[in-house]
Structure 1
Amino acid sequence: METKLAIITDIHGNSAALRAVLDDIDRNNPVEHIYCLGDLVAIGHETNKVLELLFSRNDISYVMGNHDEAILNIMKGKEPGSVGEEKEHHQWIASQLDKKFIPALSKIPKKLYAEYNGKKLLFVHYHLNEENQFIPIDQQPTIKKLDELYKTSDVDVVCFGHHHILHHFRSKERLYINPGALGCYHKPLAPYAILNIGAEGISVTFKEVAYDNREFLLAYDKLKVPARDFILRVFYGNQHLQFN
């Protein structure tokens, strides 16, 4: 019997993109479970809409992202680990967060393991070191480097996010996948992945769902979101300029 899972990551406070993906999953790709690989909030400004949508469901499991961790640190009176304009942005996001979500956010772990049809899966926001901290992003990942990172792990699949571009590597040891950032893209498309796990093997399908991002992008200026010029340029390719 084949098991179908959905993998989403890096929603980044973009409720329009998240709703489009969840609707697509429910309508076209019904799955046994959804795994969300962190960075639910920050960069995007729709913090409470995203968390309301996610936590209203009982079919999603989560791992902690670096932005989620930064916002929680602020809520706990700690330093977020960011500086300059990014820190100002994190402080603004934290100020918008409905405190009712803090208990659920605080319970999210850094890693999750699961097993389906005899296949072992690991879910992380990004690769972790021995101190359970995220390592720097590898801009040129390879199968060899990934196998070296996970040489002591007995899992068959590693699912991760953080690096916003799609990754699909298959070695003799295991499958590595990152579906790409659901909420941050230079096009009005929201990516995610479907993982099919059967007795014979594992396959992955990468999906992109079109959605209307006009209101979301124009709201950065209306809300005076800190670091908005940098965010709109780097994470969205200045798509908002076409609406002016």
Structure 2
Amino acid sequence: MGTSIAIIADIHGNSAALKAVLDDIDKDEQVEHIYCLGDLIGIGHQTNEVLELLFSRHDITFVKGNHDEAVLKIINGKEPVSVGDERKHHNWIASRLNEKYIPKLLSIPNRQFRNINGKNFLFIHYHLNEKDEFMPIDNQPTIGKLDAIYENSDADVICFGHHHIVHHFKSKQRLYLNPSSVGCSHKPLTSYVKLHVGENEQIDTSFIEVPYDNKEFLLSYEKLNVPDRNNILRIFYGEQHLQYI
């Protein structure tokens, strides 16, 4: 029989994309649990809608992302690492966050460990250094570099997000997976991974893309006067909104 799970990452305040992914996952009765790899909020403007969708379910395990951390620091009166327009954006997100979600957000750890059918899984938002800080994004990842980072880990499978592109690396030591981003794409598509661990510890991995209607989500950046919206719409959505103007 084995065990099937879904892995999602980088929702980034996009409830339209998240709903499409969750609806697709829910069609598969074999999926027993969902693991969410952080950045629930930030970049997108549907903060409370996303958190309501996620926290109302009882089948999701979370790790914290850098945008989640930045917004929580602002709420707690601390200095986030973000600066300039990104800091303004995080302040705006923090100001609109329903405070009922804060305790749950604060409780989310940086990493989660699970044993699934004999395989040791590590779930993180991105690679962490010895100070538990996120390392800079490596735009040219290799099996060798990943094995060097995790040479002291006993994990068989390491699942991470942050870098909004698919990673699928397999070394002699372990499997590395990044499902890509739920909420940020240059096409009206949202992404996740479905993973099945068989009774003999074999792993089947499926990278899934789900189409969704992102028109209202993209046009609302201007309507809501979201700080740093021009950069966000260009960098994270490839200026798809221009086709609707």
Shared fold, TM over 0.5: yes
Deviates more, 1:165-174 or 1:21-30: 21-30
- TM-superposed CA distance for 1:169, in Å, is 0.3
Residue of structure 2 equivalent to 1:208: 209
Instruction: Measure, in 1, the Cα distance between the counterparts of 2:117 and 2:100.
Output: 37
Residue of structure 2 equivalent to 1:44: 44
Any idea what SS the aligned residue of 1:195 has?
A: strand
Instruction: Measure, in 1, the Cα distance between the counterparts of 2:77 and 2:139.
Output: 33
Residue of structure 2 equivalent to 1:218: 219
Instruction: Measure, in 1, the Cα distance between the counterparts of 2:160 and 2:55.
Output: 20
Instruction: Measure, in 1, the Cα distance between the counterparts of 2:155 and 2:90.
Output: 34
Any idea what SS the aligned residue of 1:32 has?
A: strand
Residue of structure 2 equivalent to 1:140: 140
Instruction: Measure, in 2, the Cα distance between the counterparts of 1:147 and 1:190.
Output: 29
- TM-superposed CA distance for 1:151, in Å, is 0.5
Instruction: Measure, in 2, the Cα distance between the counterparts of 1:19 and 1:189.
Output: 12
Deviates more, 1:191-200 or 1:93-102: 191-200
Q: State the AA in 2 paired with 1:81.
A: V
Any idea what SS the aligned residue of 2:27 has?
A: helix
Q: Deviations 1:79-129 (Å, cap 9, x if unpaired)? A: 111100000000000001000000000000000000011100000000001
- TM-superposed CA distance for 1:27, in Å, is 1.2
Instruction: Measure, in 2, the Cα distance between the counterparts of 1:171 and 1:157.
Output: 10
The gaps in structure 2 that reach 5 residues or longer are none
Is the aligned partner of 1:227 residue 2:231?
Answer: no
Is the aligned partner of 1:188 residue 2:213?
Answer: no
The gaps in structure 1 that reach 5 residues or longer are none
Any idea what SS the aligned residue of 1:236 has?
A: coil
Instruction: Measure, in 2, the Cα distance between the counterparts of 1:130 and 1:9.
Output: 23
What count of residue pairs does the alignment treat as equivalent? 244
Instruction: Measure, in 2, the Cα distance between the counterparts of 1:129 and 1:29.
Output: 37
Q: Deviations 1:129-178 (Å, cap 9, x if unpaired)? A: 11111010000000000011110111110000000011000111100000
Q: State the AA in 1 paired with 2:210.
A: V
Instruction: Measure, in 2, the Cα distance between the counterparts of 1:47 and 1:5.
Output: 25
Q: State the AA in 2 paired with 1:40.
A: L
Residue of structure 2 equivalent to 1:57: 57
Instruction: Measure, in 1, the Cα distance between the counterparts of 2:63 and 2:136.
Output: 18
**Which runs of structure 2 are paired with 1:1-244 in the superposition (5 Å)?**
1-28=1-28, 30-200=30-200, 201-244=202-245
Instruction: Measure, in 1, the Cα distance between the counterparts of 2:99 and 2:4.
Output: 34
Instruction: Measure, in 1, the Cα distance between the counterparts of 2:23 and 2:10.
Output: 17
What is the Cα-based RMSD across aligned positions, in Å? 0.7
Q: State the AA in 2 paired with 1:148.
A: A
Instruction: Measure, in 2, the Cα distance between the counterparts of 1:88 and 1:176.
Output: 34
